[in-house]
Structure 1
Amino acid sequence: MATEYGQGYGHDSGLGFTAGTRRRLPAGLRAPFEGRTWREFGYVLLSLPIGIMLFVYAVTMVSLGAGLLVTFLGIPVLAAGLAGCRSFGALERARARGLLGLEVGDPEPLRMKKSGAMAWMGAVLKSGTSWRTLLYALVQFPWSVFSFVVAVNFWAYGWGLLTYPLWFWLFPVYGGQGGLQLYGDGSHSIYLDNPFEITVTALVGLLFTLATPWIVRALTMVDRVMVHGLLGPSRLATRVVELESDRGVVVDTAAADLRRIERDLHDGAQARLVALAMDLGLAKEKLAEDPRAAARMVDEAHGEVKTALQELRDLARGIHPAVLTDRGLDAALSAVASRCTVPVQVEVDLVERPAPAIEGIAYFTVSELLQNISKHARATRAAVDVWRVEGRLMVQVVDNGVGGADASGGSGLKGLAERLDAVDGILVVDSPVGGPTRVTAELPWRGERALG
């Protein structure tokens, strides 16, 4: 009877887990057979031998180096030990990347002002990455022992009990007992040997088997935290890289603005003023012999002067509008909205004014978005909302145009996002095809000034 029961169970197992069925199963039932689960289990299994090697190496080298510090050999040995830990750290990042899918950036390289062995040893000893890797070696070993024991026991007991109907016949045939012994003493014993007990054992094994992937996943979450926190770049180093990148964006943006201003002056107001000077020179020559022609030329020059003044005003407004400095975002954005080709409703809900730099970026963000609406959106109306949420300035521009705007390409939205990112700002574009388009900019507040 036991053999027949085992064959039936095996037959059901063979039918239940084809590729198409696996997709239809819930995540809880599918987890034991997923590749991710087996990769995470493999990571736990490998953690123990690697943790032992890393722990032994780290403790040996650091202890030896610390003991030899009274001699000239201590520093080289300690530096070599820390350098070896850094190499182990690179191996662990690669292992986490391959088995856990954890993308961790390389830590900051050694900073050496000079070349040579002494400079290298000093850089290794002063590097925070070296000491974080050493801490990882000391912490990872006891954790790898714990996670290995938990994962292997749950995995072995789960699959062992689940498949008990297939192999329980080994006990009476080869062990001389009825089945798996649940309890036994000198007077009596309890064996799992009847169909009901075998079924209950398999169900308990099923529960263990279904729970094991999530237990292993919880264990590897701790490994993820350790690898990311101790073997990846430090927050300070990451922040320095971000600031360096932001500084480059700011410098490039400023250079592009200067080139634009120079081009506008050269091609616009400067060229017009040169022509105006030539016209006035000709009018001066004709003043004596042909006063009427000279007066006509002076009148034309007067018109050119007005045009040049308007171009200079537009250029100055593009650099920094006076209305923004004097009256704030409400008045400045209302002026921008009045020049848009579609009706724009402006709502500014601010009690204080943000820092001048943030105010300027918010102004130019709205200006560029309204220009995009005028040129590309084919909208019939738009709205601009500005408000404050805790320490952030929120700017939102909405239009009912055709949509399809994308900030990931090489459009002006990408440059706008880079400019906002340079001051720790965020640009979010929601523009499905067919519209509407909603662009939200989030900027740091950075200072308060009472509205006058």
Structure 2
Amino acid sequence: MDGARVRDALVAGARGLALSLTGWTVSLWLSLAATLSIAFIPLGVGVLTTPPVLLAVRAHADRRRLRAERWAGIHVPAAPYRPLAPSRGRLMGRAGLTRRLLADPATWRDLRWLVVDATAGAAVAALAPGMLAEGLFGVLLAAGLWRPVTAASDGSYWYEFVPVSGQGTALVAGAVGCLWFAAAVLWNPTLVRAHFRLTRARLAPTAEAELARRVVRLTETRRDAVDASAAELRRIERDLHDGAQARLVAMGMDLGTVEALLDKDPEQARRLLAQARRNSAEALGELRDLVRGIHPPVLAERGLGDAVRALALRLPLAAEVTVDLHGRADAPVESAAYFAVSEVLANAAKHSGAERLWIDLHHADGMLRVSVTDDGRGGAVIGAGSGLAGVERRLGTFDGVLAVSSPAGGPTVVTMEMPCALS
């Protein structure tokens, strides 16, 4: 028998035992506590007890989502919980929090999952350690190392469907125990995955809830996109007015003066022509920078990978870029990803105190993923007014997400994801 499969069966048995015990204890007691707390709301006691109980239910559900990902590779989507805005006053604050929690459909979904987890979910998970235990009992019977306390007066007893009355029948029981072991090796990982599939079926948001969440998110990101576009247009107008336009106006005045001085003072006219030439060169450079800020030529010509490599070359610190993109995304997606990466790199160079950066771009499962890692001091957060908040808004326009892991002392890992297809 394959050693790796035996090891997987034993690990799955231990995980099944943990899941079943958690279902029969934590899920069951939280379900009872939530039921009693909600029932006692009319008496006033439930107003005080319901919020902590329901928040504990959410934390328990989040832990189960994490275990599903780690133990079975099954992704359970995060719950679209409604935000819990703080309320003033102790008692009124608890009452408002209770009302908001109970008005959230995700709360009732979690409570329904608790009941399933404490019954069917725990039963499915318990089958994995149960088969291992049955197999162990059969082998111990055959070896004479264990005897049930329920033996009859003549010393006989039953193991499964086998009446054990002597060494011969004990060996039959051992053979049945080996079959249980074989079944455990074959089915234990599947049983654990079945438990988590049941968890996903009960905890994952419904299609209606997911659609409502996406509508709210797209409404917010559309407003942010409109504001960002207006701000970008104002920036372009300001740059043109203060930069290239001013230089072109000065150049026109110099050329007018040159016309008047060609016959009277040719030397001064030559100096003004040289100055006009410098102004035209500077105006052209500013226009090129402005165009590059709107849509970099390298992005249009070479794609996102080379555009990010060009960004990394301009950084004041060492950077390593890894690109695994077999094709190109739509131009708006590439542009959003480019400027998001540009903002993250600028933040890292300016605020992280890092000496080195690692940038990884790849596309998998219909998602464009970009991660930027630095060896700086850490402490980066997504907050109002921060550059990362602007990145989050930019990605949100394309239904993308931003995640930041930045413990004190570093390292900082910024991960960006956007759904897209590559041509």
TM interval, shorter chain, is 0.5 to 0.7
**How far did residue 157 of structure 1 move?**
1.7
Q: 2:371 matched to which residue of 1?
A: 408
Structure-1 separation of matches of 2:192 and 2:217: 32
TM-score, normalised to structure 2, is: 0.55
Distance 1:366 1:262 in 2: 31
How many Å apart are 1:45 and its aligned residue?
A: 1.8
Quickly say closer, same or farther: Cα 1:182–1:309, change in 2 above 3 A.
Answer: closer
Q: Letter of the 1:292 partner, please give it.
A: P
CA distance in 2, matches of 1:385, 1:52: 50
- The whole-number CA distance in structure 2 between the counterparts of 1:304 and 1:169 is 98
- Over 3 Å counting, the alpha-carbon distance change for 1:91 and 1:114 in structure 2 is closer
* TM-superposition CA deviations, 1:199-226 (whole Å, max 9, x none): 5234223224424632541343146426
- May I ask how many residue pairs the two structures share in their alignment? 342
Measured against aligned partners, the alpha-carbon deviations of 1:236-283 in whole angstroms (never above 9, x if no partner) come to: 5588679868987997898689768867875x6367458647856975
State the structure with more CA Rg.
1
Please, what TM-score do these two structures have when normalized by structure 1? 0.52
Q: Does 1:176 align with 2:151?
A: no
Paired residue secondary structure (1:409): strand
Judging changes above 3 Å, is the alpha-carbon distance between structure 1 residues 87 and 425 closer, same or farther for their aligned structure 2 residues? closer
The question of 1:296 aligning with 2:270 is answered: yes
The structure 2 residue matched to 1:83, chosen from 51, 61, 64, is 51
Cα deviation 1:300-333 (Å, max 9, x = unaligned)? 3553564366346535644668xxxxxxxxxx97
CA spacing shift, 1:305–1:192, aligned 2, 3 Å: same
- Structure 1 residue aligned with 2:136, among 146, 156, 159? 159
On the 8 A contact 1:147/1:219 being kept in 2, the answer is yes
8 Å Cα contact 2:112-2:202 kept in structure 1: no
Q: CA 1:256/1:137 → structure 2, altered by over 3 Å: closer, same or farther?
A: same
Matched, 1:46 2:25: no
Match of 1:125 among 86, 93, 102: 102
Paired AA for residue 57 in structure 2: G
Q: Aligned match of 2:7 in 25, 30, 38?
A: 30
- Displacement after TM superposition at 1:126 (Å): 2.2
Quick one: structure 1 residues 182 and 169, their matched pair in 2 at CA, closer, same or farther if it must change by over 3 Å?
A: same
Determine the structure 2 residue equivalent to 1:351.
Answer: none
Q: Does the CA contact (< 8 Å) of 1:165 and 1:198 recur in 2?
A: yes
Q: Structure 1 residues 422 and 46 mapped into 2: Cα distance closer, same or farther (>3 Å)?
A: closer
Q: Which residue in 1 is equivalent to 2:307?
A: 368
1:217 corresponds to which residue?
192
Aligned-CA RMSD value: 5.9
What letter corresponds to residue 293 of structure 1 in structure 2?
E
The alpha-carbon distance between structure 1 residues 421 and 25, as it changes in their structure 2 partners (threshold 3 A), is farther
**Equivalent residues of 2:244, 2:287 under 8 A apart:** no
Q: Match of 2:378?
A: none
Identity of counterpart residues, as a percentage?
A: 14
Q: Deviation at 1:86? A: 0.8
Whether the 8 Å contact between 2:254 and 2:276 is mirrored in structure 1 is no
| Distance change >3 Å, CA 367–CA 255, structure 1 → 2 | farther
Where does residue 110 of structure 1 map in the other structure? 84
Distance 1:59 1:311, change over 3 A: closer
Task: Report SS of the residue matched to 1:110.
Answer: coil
Q: Structure 1 residues 153 and 425 mapped into 2: Cα distance closer, same or farther (>3 Å)?
A: closer
Q: How does 1:55-66 map to 2 (within 5 A)?
A: 55-63=31-39
Q: Describe the shift of the 1:384–1:370 C-alpha distance in structure 2 as closer, same or farther (beyond 3 A).
A: farther
2:176 corresponding residue in structure 1 = 201
Partners of 1:157 and 1:95 lie apart in 2 by 30
DSSP-derived class of the 1:408 partner = strand
The 1-side partners of 2:25 and 2:116 are apart by 14
Structure 2 distance, partners of 1:261, 1:311, is 16
SS in 2 for 1:163: helix
Q: How many Å apart are 1:151 and its aligned residue?
A: 4.7
Q: Give distance in 2, aligned partners of 1:120 and 1:158.
A: 51
